[in-house]
Each structure stands twice: as structure tokens, then as C-alpha cells.
Structure 1
Amino acid sequence: MSYNFEIVGITPILTFFNYQQEVEVSPKRSKTYLGSYQCTLDSFIESTNIIPKKPEWDWDEVIETMVNFWLKHEDIIRHWKLEFDRCEQNNLLVARVANLNCLRAELEQIFGN
């Protein structure tokens, strides 16, 4: 399988946790969102442990994808760190992890291919 990791934004803590409880209920979904109180690789890796209904993925490969992102995208990380440091305390930095094979299958089903 192949995975994608990217930082997508900042949201209030309550909004993020409500989203996780309401929307991320299927372990067969193509993506999941991670919330972190810090813009660090360690904090995002740690956040994988609290995903409700964790997808049935190769989580070692997911972590490897996250590490590779951190090594290759210093400018993006610096941008989000600055943005997050400017925010109120009751926010989380949000990242998305996608299973590219599942996402491709979902899109093919939507478009009938």
C-alpha cells in the first residue's frame, strides 16, 4: 500500500474531536485526520494512537510516510509552525493521512470506472 501525509490546517479542538466522533467511524475509509498540539513529527506520530476506529492499514508504513514528509518538506513545516504559534491555545494543527489505494478505489467507484 502507499500512503500520503500532509498538514492541512488549524481548527478548534472541539471541532476536530466532534468530527472524529461523527465522521471517522468506518475502519475501511480512505483517509483519517490527525490532530496535534505541537508542530512536531513526534506529536503527529503519537496522535495516531488515539484515532477512533483506526483504519486497517500498515501503520509502520504510515509512520514511514510521515517521517519522509518531515525530511522533505521543511518549508511547509516551518510555515505551519509559524501559523500555529500565532493561534489561540484552544486549537489543534491538523494533518491528513490517506491510503492512496483506497482513495483511488473510492474515486473510481464515484466516477464509474
Structure 2
Amino acid sequence: MDYTFEIVGVSPVLHFFHEQQQLIERSPAPPVEYIGSFQCTLDATLESIEPVLWRHDWSWNDISATVVDFWMQNAEAIAFWKHRLADAGQGSLMVSRLGNADGLRQEFEALLS
């Protein structure tokens, strides 16, 4: 299965928590997961992904390979988000989106309808 990963922004913790609650209320197993991490590091990102795997039948090996690949190919974007997270100060998270290709397509289609 093909997975997709990208950093989508920085958010205050309470806002992220509220959005996550709304997402889970709409769908207990959403097709795409939004992941929050207090640090913009590969290790912190991988650690933040582990808790959501139970909702999906996703391959940890494939997901971790996708995230590592993103990290290796997007140094400039990662530096940008690391700086943005530092500027936001404590109480903010780096937000990433993780899902399989079908789930991402479903999410985009839902936005258009």
C-alpha cells in the first residue's frame, strides 16, 4: 500500500485537540490521520505516529519508510517548519498528515462536496 506524509502546519495545542475531537466524532477511523508533535524532528514525528496505528491496518514498516523518505527529500521544508514551530513558542505543535493514497483522495473529495 502506498502512504503519503507531509507537514501541513503549526497549531496551538488546544486548537489541534479540538479539531482532532471533531474528526473522530465524524469518523472513528478517518481515512487520513493528522499527527501532532511538540518537536520538528524525525524521532518525535515517528513517536507521534505510533498511537494512531491501532485505528488502521497500516504497515508500520511502510509508514516509517514513507516518513523517513519525506525527511530525507525535504530538508528545506523541514527547516522552514522547525523555524515556524520555534516562533510559535510553547503550547504549539507541528501538524502532519498521514494516510494512504485512497484515504487522501477521499478527504479531498469530501472537501469538494
| Both proteins in one fold, TM over 0.5 | yes
Residue 88 of structure 2 corresponds to 87
Q: Shift of the alpha carbon at 1:53?
A: 6.0
CA contact (8 A) 1:26 1:55 kept: no
CA contact (8 A) 1:7 1:95 kept: yes
Give the alignment of 1:5-84 within 5 angstroms: 5-24=5-24, 25-27=27-29, 29-51=30-52, 54-84=55-85
Unaligned runs of 5+ in 1: none
Give the structure with the larger helix fraction. Answer: 2
Distance 1:91 1:102 in 2: 26
Task: Decide whether aligned partners of structure 1 residues 53 and 12 sit closer, same or farther in structure 2, where only a CA change above 3 A counts.
Answer: farther
User: Counterpart amino acid of 2:39?
Assistant: Q
User: Counterpart amino acid of 1:19?
Assistant: E
Residue 3 of structure 1 corresponds to 3
Task: Decide whether aligned partners of structure 1 residues 101 and 83 sit closer, same or farther in structure 2, where only a CA change above 3 A counts.
Answer: same
2:88 is paired with a residue whose SS is coil
User: Counterpart amino acid of 1:23?
Assistant: L
User: Counterpart amino acid of 1:84?
Assistant: L
Q: How many residues align structurally?
A: 107
Q: TM-score, normalised by structure 2?
A: 0.82
User: Counterpart amino acid of 1:95?
Assistant: S
Aligned-residue Cα RMSD (Å) equals 2.1
Q: Bigger CA drift: 67-76 or 16-25?
A: 16-25
Q: TM-score, normalised by structure 1?
A: 0.82
Q: Shift of the alpha carbon at 1:93?
A: 0.6
Q: Shift of the alpha carbon at 1:9?
A: 0.4
Distance 1:47 1:72 in 2: 20
